[in-house]
Amino acid sequence: MKHKNTRISQDHEDAGGAEIPQQKLLGLLKLIRLLKEPGGHTMPELLELLGKKLRTMQRYLSLLENVGYPVDKTAGTPTRYFLFEPAPEGRGIRHEPLTTAEADLLALRLADLGTPTPVLTSLRQKLQLPTLLLPQPHELHSLRLSRILDTLTLAIALRRRVRLLAYESTNTGTVRNRDVEPLALANNYTQLATNDLESGEFRIYNLSRMGGAELLDAPCTMPDSSRRPDIFGMADTDEWKAVELLLTERAYKLLLRESAETAADCRPAPPAPGEAGRTYHYRGRVHGYDGVGRFVLGLPTEVQVLAPDELREFVRDKVARSIW
């Protein structure tokens, strides 16, 4: 069967669909690349990465299916879209692709098995993991932090005590174990807010100074600290301050990435006069203005400070003293 050649045009697409505008073709090629990435992408991720609207994205996916690309999606929530590449005839059954978290977990477990063998190497290749079975020296630090983070996340979820192994103190220069009751991860998952069992005080520990973390078979019993980090990772004071922000849809999504808990504090808001797109009203509490101020300054055209005036003046002062 002969196929018509597809011509590229920057200006228009004829009624029969024989000509594809250059920007549309580039968008389709980028979409194919994204759908081939491990784990695929959710619809909101595709819309943000390609800068397209939902109807346009649905047309793109339909077009790919019409020309023979096997676009598929996961059954779980959130739904993830990917290109399904069937195994050779007689080789296994259809599987969804590994997510990044699943691939990382398998890499860690395979690394624990020790010296590479032909069987393990073959298994890793079939799972489409990196070619080297054991981590490189520069990767060992990241692997250790990943394991520590997994343990701390589980301890927080279960409200269990945890032992920080071989923690290096910069104040005393000592290296020893610390038993703590974890409260929350802070500062982009680089710090752990805790109630320290030895001193009975609130303390912050850096993950980079931990030699490891061990989950203990003891529940957390100390009262929660008023210095639990806010959603922006700040815990510098005991005082809580109320703030209100008006967010564009993009700023709202970025805020949810920093902390999914903020969804409960956000409400849809009517757009400002003359402006298109959805907006969201965020009302929450923070420990000081450094963390929330950093968020506002990072999205200067997409976040409006509604209250308090102190936060508005804080941001203006930072801009006035900038050295860009």
Given 60, 83, 106, the domain boundary residue is: 83
Give strand pairing partners of 244. 283, 307
Determine, yes or no, domain membership for 102.
no
- The pLDDT value given to residue 178: 95
Residue whose entry in the numeric block shows the structure tokens 């930072």: 318
Determine, yes or no, domain membership for 131.
no
Both 250 and 316 in one domain: the answer is: yes
Q: Which residues contact 18 (CB under 8 A, 6 or more apart)?
A: 4, 6, 7
**Residue 2 pLDDT exceeds 50:** no
Q: Which residues contact 197 (CB under 8 A, 6 or more apart)?
A: 161, 179, 180, 181, 222
Determine, yes or no, domain membership for 123.
no
Three-state DSSP class for 146?
helix
- The pLDDT value given to residue 314: 94
pLDDT in tens, 117-136: 566 666 655 555 443 334 44
Q: Place 162 in a pLDDT band, splitting at 50, 70 and 90.
A: very high
Q: What is the number of structural domains in the chain?
A: 3
**Residue 282 pLDDT exceeds 70:** yes
Torsion angle defined by CA atoms of residues 146, 151, 153 and 158, in that order, rounded to the nearest 10 degrees: 170
CA distance 248 to 276: 10
User: Domain of 301?
Assistant: 241-320
Mean pLDDT computed over every residue of the chain: 77
CATH code: domain of residue 290: 3.30.70
Given 185, 219, 253, the domain boundary residue is: 219
Determine, yes or no, domain membership for 236.
no
CATH code: domain of residue 202: 2.30.30.180
Residues 191-203 have a mean pLDDT of: 87
- The pLDDT value given to residue 265: 85
Both 247 and 210 in one domain: the answer is: no
Cα-based distances in Å from 52 to 43, 124, 169, 227, 268: 10, 36, 49, 41, 21
Determine, yes or no, domain membership for 4.
no
Cis peptide upstream of residue 308 (ω within 30 degrees of 0): yes
Cis peptide upstream of residue 135 (ω within 30 degrees of 0): no
Given 56, 83, 110, the domain boundary residue is: 83
Determine, yes or no, domain membership for 260.
yes
Both 312 and 250 in one domain: the answer is: yes
pLDDT in tens, 10-53: 344 333 444 457 778 888 888 888 888 777 788 988 998 888 89
Q: Which of 32-36, 174-178, 284-288 has the highest mean pLDDT?
A: 174-178
CATH code: domain of residue 24: 1.10.10
Determine, yes or no, domain membership for 280.
yes
Determine, yes or no, domain membership for 307.
yes
Both 209 and 255 in one domain: the answer is: no
Both 149 and 184 in one domain: the answer is: yes
